[in-house]
Structure 1
């Protein structure tokens, strides 16, 4: 029976690398896949047309882009009619809506296609993203990927920083950025950074 998987971590844990490796493994065996990523994340655009998903280690691939209005159930089933899919892979899954997570669950349950979702669990305030909250509640399998804090402990938090490297603890939940905007920290160093900034 197909399952819905959620691979979650802080930033810099290799989520996109894992997704692209899983995609390669299917395709190497002649199996078709369908890749998705959030339309609002345009960082890989520097790689050129079609490379919607890229990793820090240099891997990249084309992907369909979803918005809050995208009907994933309909899109995946339309693709399945053209050629049978062995797997659906979703990057930046934290940006899914709750309804879209249910659509992905239906793809696993009713269409019999495994769905692998990769994303952040929490935002820069330590609060769940809507997509992540739904996946934590609905996924058949939860897998935590490991990132490392500068102290050597497991990094579980995403600290947003400004241009000077100072912590930011107010603002919109979604602000796209990489290492120049976010640091992966353990909870202890995340809390210490916010306390220090509040005192300054």
Structure 2
């Protein structure tokens, strides 16, 4: 029976790199994969999963209105898919997580989701919350805080490097906008200034 996997972490832990390596492993054995990434993430080329170390691959894009189940089954009907891999899974809707669970349960296709667990306030994203509740397998990918401890939090910073406490849950950015920290240093930075 295929499983729904959720690999989560703070920023800068190598989620996209791990996803691309997993896809490569399938393809190296002659098995097709289907890659997806969030349309909202416009840091790189649209329709591409790009890692900070330079690996990249073309991907389908999803937004809140995308019917993932229909799109995946349509492609699977044309050429069998061995695995579906989703980058930026925190941006999935609750309904899309249910669609992915059905892909595993009814079509026996494993689905590997990679994403952030929490936002810059420490709150769960919708997609992450539902993946934490429904996934068959949960795995944390480790990132490192400046102090050497495991980074579990994503601190949003302004252009001067000061902690941002308020704002929209989603603001696309990289190292210019976010710092991965352990909870202790995340809380300390929020209390500053």
Q: Which residue matches 1:65?
A: 61
Which residue pairs with 2:161 in the alignment?
165
- Which residue of structure 2 lines up, in the alignment, with residue 110 of structure 1? 106
How far apart, CA to CA, are the structure 1 residues paired with 2:69 and 2:190? 41
CA offset at residue 103 of structure 1?
Answer: 0.2
Shift of 1:44: 1.3
**Quick check: 1:144 aligned with 2:140?**
yes
Q: For residue 85 of structure 1, report the CA deviation from its aligned partner.
A: 0.4
> 5+ residue gaps in structure 2?
none
1:27 CA displacement = 0.4
What is the deviation of 1:59? 0.3
Distance of 1:152 and 1:33 partners within structure 2: 35
Write the distance in 1 (CA, Å) between the matches of 2:42 and 2:120. 19
Provide the residue aligned with 2:52 in structure 1. 56
TM-score under structure 1 length normalisation: 0.95
Shift of 1:181: 0.2
Deviation string, structure 1 residues 100-125 (Cα, Å, up to 9, x no partner): 00000000000100000000000000
Which ranges in structure 1 are unaligned for 5 or more consecutive residues? none
Q: Please state if 1:178 is matched with 2:174.
A: yes
Match runs of 1:1-200 below 5 Å: 1-45=1-45, 52-196=48-192, 200=193
The alignment's C-alpha RMSD in Å is 0.7
The superposition leaves residues 38-71 of structure 1 with CA deviations (integer Å, 9 ceiling, x where unpaired) of: 00101112xxx75x10001110000000010000
Query: What stretches of structure 1 move > 2 A for 4+ residues in a row?
Result: none
